[in-house]
Every structure is written in C-alpha cells, then in structure tokens.
Amino acid sequence: MSRSPFTDEIERTETPRKFISPHFTWFGGDEDPDRHLMHYQSAMTLYANNDALMCKIFATTIQGEVQDWLYTLPPCSIRNFDELSLVFTKEYLSYCSIKKRSNHFFSMKKDMNESFLTYVKRFKEKKVKIVGCDDSITCSAFRK
C-alpha cells in the first residue's frame, strides 16, 4: 500500500467534531479542474483557514483514476492546500475551459436553419465563457 502524499502533520490532523461535510460534485478527471476547485473552495469556505482539513476532505471529492493519481504523488510531498491545488490543476490542465474575450462574440452568426431560440441559447452559453463580459459589448454583438 502506498503512503499518503500528505505530510504527517496533515495526516495526524483530526476532523473537527462538529464538521459536516458539504455536498460536493465528484471530479472524475474529464472536467475543468479550476471549476472543481472553485466549487470545493466555496463549499468549504468556513474551513478555508484549515489547510489540513482542506487537503483531507479534497481527497474525498475525487474518484477513479484521479484518486489513483493522487496516491502516485511522492509520500509527504503535499504540505498545504495551495500545493495540492497547484499539482491538481497542472495534472488536469488539458481539461481547463478556454477563457474567451468579448471580441469572440462578434464572430458569432445565426445559422440559416437555426431557430432564433436556439441561437439565443447558444449565444448565452458563449457569454458564460467570456471573462469580464461587459453588457454593452454583449448587446452590440447580439444586435450585429
């Protein structure tokens, strides 16, 4: 059996008595790791200052090959949650969502056979993926 990638200090840390684990979505390796980390950190906001707990509970939010990957890390190599986040993101970087800029909107066009409703839905899906999307730019692009 392989040793834990967490330091002995993390491993020895007890879970607080009144700790109730929030509901987490599982990460199986084929999603955006940044999105998973954001979801995890927001769910664990009350415990954000407890690195040991953040590491130990994070290990319960991953499954399958990702869980296997975690235990291939060198023993005692993870000292805090920042280190864990960094190696996790690096490992699953290829699944990160590509952030787009507002000018991406201006290349969107409604297809001839596409309904207006379908186009609006597609437009909204693109809007969500654009960093710092300004409403005036969104309106201009939509009108175009």
What distance in Å separates the CA atoms of residue 49 and residue 22, rounded to the nearest whole number? 16
Contacts for 100 with CB less than 8 Å, ≥ 6 apart:
126, 129, 130, 131
What distance in Å separates the CA atoms of residue 46 and residue 39, rounded to the nearest whole number? 13
* Residue 45 shares a structural domain with residue 69: yes
Tens digit of pLDDT for each residue in 55-114?
999 999 999 999 999 999 999 999 999 999 999 998 888 655 545 555 656 667 778 888
**What pLDDT score was predicted for residue 85?**
94
Kindly state the tokens that stand for 69.
């990957």
- Residue range(s) defining the domain that contains residue 73: 8-95
* Residue 126 shares a structural domain with residue 86: no
What distance in Å separates the CA atoms of residue 22 and residue 105, rounded to the nearest whole number? 37
**What pLDDT score was predicted for residue 59?**
93
Please give the tally of structural domains in the chain. 2
pTM (two decimals): 0.65
